[in-house]
């Protein structure tokens, strides 16, 4: 029996009325529903006649439900869950469970996912390590072999299926020696074991592939996407994979990025590279997801004409409409790299004729390594609700993903996962909230961050209303708290290079990665205006361009992303820039101290292991927050020569 944390699936339904169910289907997904009844309901029993059941599952023809939606109706104390597919029935089951587990009234509802693709990207390596992973080793691999811990993978699949995730890529997008061979017949039986488990929970499995595979494992002298032999190689690979795994999802590709090979090597475009994979996968209904994280990672800090923020748009906007229908571009939500605050990338609203998905990051690479509390739902919610203002009507990202994709079923959301072999999956108990929030928000874009957090708390713990409100307040303020004690006003980075944890204000300032803040004795920030800066602001629609160009309308929390400003510049808040830096860094630490005090009074209500886990990690968060406060405040006092007007102690 598994000893892993069951997260938000930890309550058994003891409701005596809802314990008998009728399910005629016999598919693997129907078998999963039966297995879930056995685990999640105290005394569930299957009956062979509808009129004997209090929960009835039925397949229907109903176009409004699509392939994955469901309808739940209540009549005379009988709940009927209807769907056009067994996958829809599974999602309906989990919805019913969560309502009963929260003691909510069972109400009629039609629920259809807002986004078609709801995907998790793993950055797992076959040696067992996870790139940017902070919760233990890979659940899939160890010592360059498959871990074969199928119970853990099944537990993991349950969690994601319960919040509607329908696709997972299992290996790192930076595809190394052993991972390059995952596409070969020698490894397909092991991939199939994993894929079959995920498939039984309605989740398609993808592999990240190495663009240079034809040379590395195919015996060819080139990986040119227009070479006939290279195309034959990928066609044969796809045929073998689908012979072994008929419902295989497809490939995820990172190319021409951060040292990874790609079509640029051969003078080809990204459309050439992506369409090569698309042709190989098309006969089997396969799908290629092509990442747009492409930029010059060998930048000369002396050259201010190069702006990393421009890169994705510059590389891909001219290719709009040139990709095959089974290609989807995967675009990070911001133009840099998952910083605490970034503008939404202008490719959303810019692309009009290409399938695309937005990429989030659940793993806390720049947001505290799952040692700091950082509830990410507000970040994702802001991105999805962002109005691109591409014309007079409202043009929100969450709608444009579907509307501006050629095939809406090839649009949606992906996120970099955060789990490992730690028993609680995420290292920090409270950061399970980000797993839950991601799935719920993918399915229901209209949910608020607060609603999702409340739901997660109710399912994960048995807390008094007072205690739940205390934890809720911590979660809902955690993003701003972290932002307060780290890099200010959208400037980003200032972290220890490569590790990306803890402060190092100038750590990347003279490096090759294009992540500069340009602080000097007079001011700080990057001029990205289209007036006299890098021109990045000009990639947006005219209304947004004007907003970001003008200090009178540029939001304070992004002002250093778009402008280089003197320390005496007065923000919309009425504070000078330098005073804002001092105030927020002192307040950020004070908030963490308040979190610690708040958490200490919850010892009687929280399970002991969860209480100790969070208590210990709050001490680490406090230690690092103080480092940030002291180093940032000292740095800018020395740079500016301007004292804190409140006279607090800063190490000069």
Cα gap 124→208, rounded to integer Å: 10
User: Which residue, among 350, 384, 395, has the nearest Cα to 540 in the 3D structure?
Assistant: 350
Q: Alpha helices of 320-418 — where are they, by DSSP H? A: 347-350, 377-384, 397-403
Q: Is 359 a catalytic residue?
A: no
Considering the candidates 151, 185, 258, 600, report the single residue annotated as catalytic. 258
Residues 6+ apart with CB under 8 A from 30: 23, 86, 89
User: Which residue, among 156, 163, 87, 172, has the nearest Cα to 118 in the 3D structure?
Assistant: 163
Considering the candidates 5, 36, 155, 337, report the single residue annotated as catalytic. 337
Phi, psi (degrees; rounded to nearest 5) at 651:
-75, 105
Burial code (b: 16+ CB inside 10 Å, e: under 16) for 585-622 equals bbebbebbeebeeebeebeebbeeebbebbeebbeebb
Q: What are the tokens at 279?
A: 């042709």
Q: What are the tokens at 334?
A: 């911001």
Alpha carbon dihedral 57, 59, 65, 70, in 10-degree steps, equals: 10
Cα gap 486→478, rounded to integer Å: 12
Q: What is the DSSP string of 203-256?
A: -EEEEEE-TTHHHHTS--S---TT-HHHHHHHHHHHHHHHHH-TT--EEEE--S
Task: Identify the sign of the CA torsion 113, 293, 169, 321.
Answer: positive
Sheet with 70-75: strands ordered across = 45-46, 20-22, 55-59, 78-83, 70-75, 109-111
User: Which residue, among 502, 494, 638, has the nearest Cα to 651 in the 3D structure?
Assistant: 638
Cα gap 455→435, rounded to integer Å: 13
136 torsion bin: left (phi>0), alpha (psi -120 to 50), beta (else): left
Considering the candidates 365, 483, 547, 644, report the single residue annotated as catalytic. 365
Cα gap 389→146, rounded to integer Å: 47
CB 578 within 8 A of CB 584: no
Cα gap 472→350, rounded to integer Å: 37
Q: Is 365 a catalytic residue?
A: yes
Residues 6+ apart with CB under 8 A from 188: 240, 241, 244, 245
128 torsion bin: left (phi>0), alpha (psi -120 to 50), beta (else): left
Bridge pairing between strands 327-332 and 356-361: parallel
Residue carrying the six token digits 């509307």 = 403
Cα gap 366→340, rounded to integer Å: 7
Task: Identify the sign of the CA torsion 410, 293, 538, 491.
Answer: positive
Residues carrying an active site annotation = 258, 337, 365
């Amino acid at each position: 029996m598994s000893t892993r944390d069951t997260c938000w699936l930890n309550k058994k339904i003891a409701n005596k009325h809802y314990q008998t169910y009728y399910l005629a289907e016999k598919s693997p997904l129907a078998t999963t529903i039966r297995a879930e009844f056995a685990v999640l309901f105290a005394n569930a029993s299957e009956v062979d006649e509808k009129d004997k059941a209090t929960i009835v599952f039925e397949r229907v023809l109903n176009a409004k439900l699509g392939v994955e939606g469901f309808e739940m109706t209540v009549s005379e104390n009988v709940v009927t869950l209807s769907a056009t597919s067994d996958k829809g029935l599974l999602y309906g089951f989990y919805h019913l469970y969560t309502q009963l587990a929260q003691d909510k009234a069972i109400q009629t509802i039609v629920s259809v996912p807002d986004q078609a693709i709801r995907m998790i990207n793993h950055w797992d390596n076959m040696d067992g390590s996870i790139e940017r992973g902070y919760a233990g080793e890979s659940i899939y691999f160890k010592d360059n072999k498959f871990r074969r811990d199928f119970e853990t993978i099944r537990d993991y699949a349950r969690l994601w299926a319960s919040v509607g995730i329908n696709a997972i890529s299992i290996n790192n997008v930076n595809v190394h020696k052993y991972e390059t061979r995952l596409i070969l017949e020698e490894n397909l039986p092991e991939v199939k074991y994993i894929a079959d488990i995920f498939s039984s929970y309605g989740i398609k499995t993808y592999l990240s592939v190495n663009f240079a595979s034809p040379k590395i494992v195919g015996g060819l002298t080139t990986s040119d996407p227009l070479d006939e032999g290279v195309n034959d190689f990928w066609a044969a690979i796809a045929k073998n994979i689908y012979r072994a795994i008929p419902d295989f999802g497809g490939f995820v590709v990172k190319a021409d990025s951060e040292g990874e090979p790609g079509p640029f090597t051969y003078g080809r475009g990204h459309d050439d590279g992506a369409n090569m994979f698309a042709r190989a996968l098309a006969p089997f209904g396969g799908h290629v997801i092509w990442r747009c994280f492409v930029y010059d990672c060998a930048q000369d800090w002396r050259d201010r004409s190069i702006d990393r923020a421009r890169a994705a748009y510059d590389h891909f906007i001219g290719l709009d409409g040139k990709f095959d229908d089974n290609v989807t571009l995967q675009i990070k939500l911001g133009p840099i790299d998952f910083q605490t605050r970034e503008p939404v990338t202008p490719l959303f609203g810019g692309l009009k004729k290409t399938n695309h998905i937005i990429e989030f990051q659940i793993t806390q690479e720049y947001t505290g390594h799952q040692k700091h509390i950082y509830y990410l739902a507000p970040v994702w919610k802001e991105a999805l609700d962002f109005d691109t203002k591409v014309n007079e009507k409202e043009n929100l990202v969450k709608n444009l993903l579907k509307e501006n994709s050629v095939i809406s079923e090839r649009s949606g959301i992906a996120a970099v996962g955060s789990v490992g072999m730690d028993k609680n999956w995420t290292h920090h108990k409270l950061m399970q909230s980000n797993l839950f929030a991601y799935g719920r928000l993918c399915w229901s874009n209209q949910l608020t961050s607060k609603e999702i957090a409340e739901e997660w708390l109710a399912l994960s713990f048995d807390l008094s209303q007072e205690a739940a409100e205390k934890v809720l307040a911590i979660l809902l303020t955690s993003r701003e708290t972290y932002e307060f004690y780290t890099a200010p006003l959208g400037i980003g980075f200032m972290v220890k290079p490569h590790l990306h944890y803890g402060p190092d204000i100038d750590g990347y300032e003279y490096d090759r990665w294009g992540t500069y803040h340009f602080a000097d004795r007079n001011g700080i920030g990057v001029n990205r205006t289209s007036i006299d800066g890098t021109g990045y602001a000009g990639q947006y629609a005219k209304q947004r361009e004007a907003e970001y160009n003008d200090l009178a309308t540029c939001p304070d929390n992004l002002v250093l992303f778009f402008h280089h400003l003197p320390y005496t510049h007065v923000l919309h808040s009425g504070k000078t820039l330098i005073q804002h830096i001092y105030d927020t860094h002192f307040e950020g630490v004070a908030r963490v101290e308040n979190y610690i005090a708040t958490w200490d009074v919850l010892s009687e209500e929280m399970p002991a292991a969860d209480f100790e886990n969070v208590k210990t990690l709050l001490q680490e968060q406090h230690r690092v927050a103080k480092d940030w406060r002291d180093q940032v405040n000292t740095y800018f006092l020395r740079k500016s020569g301007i004292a804190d007007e409140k006279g607090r102690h800063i190490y000069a």
